[in-house]
A and B are shown apart, each in its own frame.
Chain A
């Protein structure tokens, strides 16, 4: 029995699917570490979640926050490197649902209802953050969550 997932068809409550490319880009970040961050956008015409932008491993958190639009929603994945209290180098993947309060209601609803379905496709997320303004996704927030 073939189990068709993702491409084209949708079983989200909003009818959005997840593009193959989104999942594979995420897997590249996770396994091969070719990207520092990936930003996803909902393409309403194609009715799926696609990759909008990726950032190289040398980019910083500030470059990432600068790539997020001020008044539109996005999904993002960020690979956060840090040193723990016991002095070991660790790396955790954060999923950020960026939904600024200044955005219009339509994108907020769209992104909120599609989030669950999309999130399930991305296996291997360590932490999830929902941010409604820049203060909620500050570097300090990530540092506090990661351990």
Chain B
């Protein structure tokens, strides 16, 4: 049995929400940044963004994660109000889990000695903020003073210890301790106060708000001592702020799509030193929602999920930008002519190009950004099906997308495939039949009389296989614009979910909702490989290797199983836990490289070592 190992991971982007900032954090010793997406906590190395590790143990969407000051532990929080503390080494072993708040946690900070943690967020009742000991969970203070969601909190990094919190009630509250008690409150902002951060030496802290202002306070007493100058300031809500390691500059990001570096002078007035704009299309996705100053790196995150890394020592240098998917990657495909380039798409309408070995290569700029159900690529064009009953054919020249020609097919497309050798033929299955398209015209809509769940057309356009709700596979030959039924195969015990022809056209494989996959010989229509029952949940996708010698199945149970066609099924290779939430896309790029994508918005490249 050969082994399968993970060679590359293309990470997802942080999940963002319009109108709110996100908080990313990092570890300066290892140059790693950490952010969250759905239930995963992602730790990405800034030197090499392909080096990513993922913590997937939260039961609810994770919101913020932070390294402890000594870099050994990570405390991560989620929308249920739970904080999990786990080790960075040794397979993320869990130290403790606490239910801290009764609602979502928006920010979390460690004390500089790593013994206490303060968490703030939204809660029913009045406990919007809680500080507790990291190992026992005992409370270290009482935090009244807020009446609305507390968006951010900060712990003074030097003695005497203080905690500052700020939130949607426009207030900035100052607490002394431990045990922490309310000391004073400031209402200098006229809108949500989005972020508060202490300078590394603890002498001051800065708060930024949706009223476009930033205010500087004394670290020990909590009195206002200055502000960020409005000259050259932001023209949109400021979502996040981060101090430089020397405490003399701050980085802010805003909804006006720019990031600004400010010099904080002796008399505590901030002056804009440089405005950083990431060159982009200028749409809503370029609003910047998160930032972090880590050693020499200035990291900014946009609403569309693009992470840009600027150099602090050379502010004029163009940033390194990369992005990824934010949502479930439902389709993955390659073009035969260039198998090193992968195209992936997620239902929010994003199509991303990836190059093996390099990573993110770019987003396909489509003229209209409608949602996509699935994607197929022929040589010079991509065909997408949408939830709006339309199939779009977009010509692809290099990286540029031409205009999309939308074809309305009259009902919701369930599954579709393109005849690769004669790409004007597209077969789309709808609820009770199929629609045949040649070019941009619907040539026929055929009602088949049974509920169709999956379909595939052969690459020369001569044959099609349609799978039904009852598990039967109907084979049709295509003559002109009609289908002639040739045979009905019964073996599956559940609705067919996917059917694929082998590249050499001698076999086809089908997978169903009842976890079973079957390989059939095309000419004789006999079962070639059976008992492929090793998944524990529905099979979502299926891929053939280019030489038709192996087949991979991906399922909702998060596993990918690779079978060799000429060997017994006992010799299969299983990749457990390939994608948190289920595997939705699979494609082989060469004989021994398999790429998978899933619900966690990640794309992973696996290498099979031949026996």
Contact = CB atoms under 8 A, between A and B. Distances in A.
A135 B493 contact: no
B493 A102 contact: yes
Nearest to A134: B531
User: Lowest 10 A-B CB distances belong to which pairs?
Assistant: A134-B531, A135-B533, A133-B533, A135-B534, A138-B570, A139-B570, A135-B531, A134-B533, A102-B493, A133-B531
Interface in B79-135: none
Contacts of B533: 133-135
Contacts of B534: 135
Interface string B365-380: 0000000000000000
Interface string B527-546: 00001011000000000000
13 contacts: A62-B568, A101-B493, A102-B493, A133-B531, A133-B533, A134-B531, A134-B533, A135-B531, A135-B533, A135-B534, A138-B570, A139-B570, A140-B570
Given A102-B493, A133-B531, A135-B534, 10 more contacts: A62-B568, A101-B493, A133-B533, A134-B531, A134-B533, A135-B531, A135-B533, A138-B570, A139-B570, A140-B570
A27 to B, nearest CB: 31
Interface residue SS majority, chain A:
helix
Contacts of A101: 493
A140 B571 CA distance: 11
Contacts of A133: 531, 533
Interface residues of B, number: 6
B76 to A, nearest CB: 34
A133 B568 CA distance: 16
A139 B534 CA distance: 14
Contacts of B531: 133-135
Interface string A119-144: 00000000000000111001110000
A98 B128 CA distance: 58
A135 B493 CA distance: 16
Interface string A45-67: 00000000000000000100000
A116 B533 CA distance: 28
A41 B534 CA distance: 27
Contacts of A134: 531, 533
Nearest to A139: B570
Contacts of A135: 531, 533-534
B214 to A, nearest CB: 61
Interface string B212-231: 00000000000000000000
Interface in B550-607: 568, 570
A134 B530 CA distance: 10
A51 to B, nearest CB: 26
Nearest to B533: A135
A134 B569 CA distance: 10
A109 B446 CA distance: 44
A139 B570 CA distance: 9
A134 B570 CA distance: 10
Interface string B475-514: 0000000000000000001000000000000000000000
A2 to B, nearest CB: 49
A140 B570 CA distance: 9
B530 to A, nearest CB: 9
A42 to B, nearest CB: 25
A104 to B, nearest CB: 14
Contacts of B493: 101-102
Interface in A80-139: 101-102, 133-135, 138-139
B489 to A, nearest CB: 15
A139 B493 CA distance: 25
Nearest to B536: A135
A127 B531 CA distance: 24
B143 to A, nearest CB: 52
Contacts of A140: 570
Nearest to A101: B493
Nearest to A61: B570
A135 B572 CA distance: 12
A65 to B, nearest CB: 10
Interface in A17-53: none
